[in-house]
C-alpha cells in the first residue's frame, strides 16, 4: 500500500521567513496530493492540493510543487505569520478512495 513520509517533524521559523515541508510517497498510481492544516484540537482543514497533471500550484502565500518522477511533493509558505503556526499534514491517495497521511509537521512561527 501507499507509504507517505513527511519531513521535518518540527519546524521553527521567524515571522516573515519562508517554511518548506517535504513529503515522499511510494505508490506511483497516486494522483492527488492534498495538504491539511490542523490547529490544536480542531479538524484537518484543506489548504491546498495538487493533482498529478501539474507540477506546481500557488494560492497567495502558499505553494505546492510535485515531482512525479521522484515521487515527492513539497509545501512552501512564504512571509509566515504567527497564525500559520499549526500541524501540517501531507497526504496521497491510492487507486481507490483512501488518503494516506504523512506523520505531520509542527510549524511554529515566532513573532
Partner 1 sequence: EPEVTQTPSHQVTQMGQEVILRCVPISNHLYFYWYRQILGQKVEFLVSFYNNEISEKSEIFDDQFSVERPDGSNFTLKIRSTKLEDSAMYFCASSEVPGANVLTFGAGSRLTVL
Give which of 15, 10, 1, 22 is closest to 94, Cα–Cα: 1
Cα distance between residue 11 and residue 13, in whole Å = 7
Binding segment for partner 1 (CB under 8 A), chosen from 16-24, 46-54, 57-65, 74-82, is 46-54
Give how many residues touch partner 1 by CB under 8 A: 24
Residue 100 binds partner 1, judged by CB under 8 A: yes
Say which residues have a Cβ less than 8 Å from residue 78's Cβ, sequence separation at least 6. 18, 61, 63
Residue 74 binds partner 1, judged by CB under 8 A: no
Binding segment for partner 1 (CB under 8 A), chosen from 16-24, 43-51, 56-64, 78-86, is 43-51
Amino acid at each position: 500500500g501507499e507509504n507517505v513520509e513527511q519531513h521535518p517533524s518540527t519546524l521553527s521559523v521567524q515571522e516573515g521567513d519562508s517554511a518548506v515541508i517535504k513529503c515522499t510517497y511510494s505508490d506511483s498510481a497516486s494522483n492527488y496530493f492534498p495538504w491539511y492544516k490542523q490547529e490544536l484540537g480542531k479538524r484537518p482543514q484543506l489548504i491546498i492540493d495538487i493533482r498529478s497533471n501539474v507540477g506546481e500550484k500557488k494560492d497567495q502565500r502558499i505553494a505546492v510543487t510535485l515531482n512525479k518522477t521522484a515521487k515527492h511533493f513539497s509545501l512552501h509558505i512564504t512571509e509566515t505569520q504567527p497564525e500559520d503556526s499549526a500541524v501540517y499534514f501531507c497526504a496521497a491517495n491510492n487507486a481507490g478512495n483512501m488518503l494516506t497521511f504523512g506523520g505531520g509537521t509542527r510549524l511554529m512561527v515566532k513573532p
